[in-house]
Structure 1
Amino acid sequence: MESPSVIFMSLLASLFKRWPEFLLALLSFFSIKWYSKHKNNLSSLNWPFLGRLPSVLRNAHCVNEVLLDTFNIFGSSFKLKGPVFTRMNYLITCHPQNIEYILKTNFSNFPKGQEFKEIFDIFGDGIFTTDFYPWIQQRKMTHSRFTSKEFRNFVAQVNRSEVEVTLLPLLVHLSKEESTFDLQSVFVRLTFDTSFIMTFGRSPKYLSADFPSNELAEAIEVATETMFYRHVVPSLWWKFMRLLRVGQERENAKARRTIDHEIGELISQKMKELLLLGFGPDKGLLSTYMNNDHSQVGEKSTHKFLRDTALIILFASADTSASGLTWFFWCICNNPRVESKILEELRNVVSKRKNGDDDDDHSMKENRVYVFDPEELKELVYMHAALIESLRLYPPGYLNHKSVVENDVLPDGVRVRKGMKVILSIYAVARMEWIWGKDCKEFKPERWIDEEGKFRSELLSKFFTFNVGPRTCMGKEMAFSLMKSVIAAILFNFHVELVEAQPDCLKQSIVLLMKNGLNVKVRKRVA
Structure 2
Amino acid sequence: MDMLCTASPADIHYILSKNFPNYPKGDKFGQIFDIIGDGFSNTDGELWRFHSKTLLLLLNHPSFDSLLKKTIWNKVEKGLLPFLDNISRQGVEIDLQEIFQRFGFDLTCGIIIDYDPESLSVWKLQRLLRMGNEKKLSGAWKIIDEFIYKALAEKRKEYGDIKYEGEEEGESFNFLRSLMRELKDQSGRSGDPNKFLRDISFNLILAGKGVFKTLFFHLTEFTSSRVHGT
Could you say which TM-score interval applies, normalised by the shorter chain?
0.7 to 0.9
The structure 2 residue matched to 1:214, chosen from 99, 120, 125, is 125
Alpha-carbon distance between aligned partners in 1 of 2:197 and 2:183, rounded to the nearest angstrom: 14
Distance 1:125 1:325, change over 3 A: same
Match of 1:262 in 2: 147
Distance 1:311 1:101, change over 3 A: closer
Match of 1:122 in 2: 35
1:127–1:135 contact (8 Å) kept in structure 2? yes
> Where does 1:313-462 land on structure 2 (aligned, <5 Å)?
313-318=204-209, 320-337=210-227
2:39–2:200 contact (8 Å) kept in structure 1? yes
The structure 1 residue matched to 2:64, chosen from 129, 151, 154, is 151
2:109–2:205 contact (8 Å) kept in structure 1? yes
Root-mean-square deviation over aligned CA pairs:
2.8
Q: Does 1:132 align with 2:45?
A: yes
Distance 1:187 1:274, change over 3 A: same
- SS at 2:136's partner residue? helix
Alpha-carbon distance between aligned partners in 1 of 2:24 and 2:161, rounded to the nearest angstrom: 42
The structure 1 residue matched to 2:156, chosen from 252, 255, 271, is 271
The structure 1 residue matched to 2:203, chosen from 309, 312, 316, is 312
- SS at 1:90's partner residue? coil
CA drift of 1:296 comes to 5.5
CA drift of 1:270 comes to 1.7
2:108–2:208 contact (8 Å) kept in structure 1? yes
Higher helix share: 2
The structure 2 residue matched to 1:112, chosen from 18, 25, 28, is 25
- SS at 1:315's partner residue? helix
- SS at 1:201's partner residue? coil
CA drift of 1:95 comes to 4.7
Match of 1:167 in 2: 80
Q: Per-residue displacement from partner, 1:395-415 (whole Å, max 9, x unpaired)?
A: xxxxxxxxxxxxxxxxxxxxx
Match of 2:193 in 1: 302
* Alignment-mate amino acid for residue 97 of structure 2: Q
Distance 1:138 1:277, change over 3 A: closer
Alpha-carbon distance between aligned partners in 2 of 1:274 and 1:187, rounded to the nearest angstrom: 30
Q: Does 1:253 align with 2:138?
A: yes
CA drift of 1:315 comes to 1.1
Query: Percentage identity across aligned positions?
Result: 28
Distance 1:112 1:162, change over 3 A: same
- SS at 2:71's partner residue? helix
Count, aligned residues: 224
- SS at 1:93's partner residue? coil
- SS at 1:295's partner residue? coil
Q: Does 1:186 align with 2:106?
A: no
2:71–2:111 contact (8 Å) kept in structure 1? yes
Match of 2:3 in 1: 90
TM-score by length of 2: 0.83
Q: Per-residue displacement from partner, 1:443-488 (whole Å, max 9, x unpaired)?
A: x6xxxxxxxxxxxxxxxxxxxxxxxxxxxxxxxxxxxxxxxxxxxx
Alpha-carbon distance between aligned partners in 1 of 2:161 and 2:10, rounded to the nearest angstrom: 54
CA drift of 1:333 comes to 4.6
Alpha-carbon distance between aligned partners in 2 of 1:288 and 1:295, rounded to the nearest angstrom: 13
Distance 1:329 1:111, change over 3 A: same
Alpha-carbon distance between aligned partners in 1 of 2:41 and 2:218, rounded to the nearest angstrom: 26
Alpha-carbon distance between aligned partners in 2 of 1:321 and 1:91, rounded to the nearest angstrom: 24
- SS at 1:171's partner residue? helix
Distance 1:332 1:213, change over 3 A: same
Distance 1:181 1:308, change over 3 A: same
Distance 1:293 1:130, change over 3 A: closer
* Alignment-mate amino acid for residue 92 of structure 1: C
* Alignment-mate amino acid for residue 308 of structure 1: D
CA drift of 1:275 comes to 2.0
* Alignment-mate amino acid for residue 176 of structure 2: L
TM-score by length of 1: 0.39
Alpha-carbon distance between aligned partners in 2 of 1:334 and 1:97, rounded to the nearest angstrom: 27
CA drift of 1:112 comes to 2.0
Distance 1:314 1:293, change over 3 A: closer
Alpha-carbon distance between aligned partners in 1 of 2:89 and 2:52, rounded to the nearest angstrom: 46
CA drift of 1:102 comes to 3.6
Higher relative contact order (CA 8 A, sep 6+): 2
Alpha-carbon distance between aligned partners in 2 of 1:202 and 1:98, rounded to the nearest angstrom: 36
1:126–1:309 contact (8 Å) kept in structure 2? yes
Alpha-carbon distance between aligned partners in 1 of 2:156 and 2:75, rounded to the nearest angstrom: 26
